[in-house]
Amino acid sequence: MLRERLHLQRDELGAESGQEAVDEMLSQVEALQGEYRRRRVGLHPHYKNYLFFLTDTDVLPILRDCYVDLVRGEAIASEFAG
């Protein structure tokens, strides 16, 4: 799918700069990755991958996808409170 989009975009470039084409493609890739993450959650409802935070008094299970967002800076720790 990305190959087809690149070929179409190359044909439509005209006066558009190479950097603009790259930026547009990166935006499309990020959108596809986000859609993939959303769809992946529903693929295997019987299987969930957790990481665990250990505190002095408790063990906190965190879904792997939530943890990844936290590490990437796309989420903040207060979202996991409670």
Write out pLDDT tens, residues 13-72: 666 677 777 788 888 888 888 888 788 777 766 677 888 888 899 898 888 877 787 788
pLDDT of residue 64: 81
pLDDT of residue 79: 60
> CB of 22 within 8 A of CB of 30?
no
pLDDT of residue 23: 80
Question: What does pTM read for this prediction?
Answer: 0.40
pLDDT of residue 44: 67
* Closest to 67 in 3D by CA, of 44, 78, 51, 81: 51
> CB of 43 within 8 A of CB of 54?
no
CA–CA dist 79, 38 (Å, integer) = 18
pLDDT of residue 16: 62
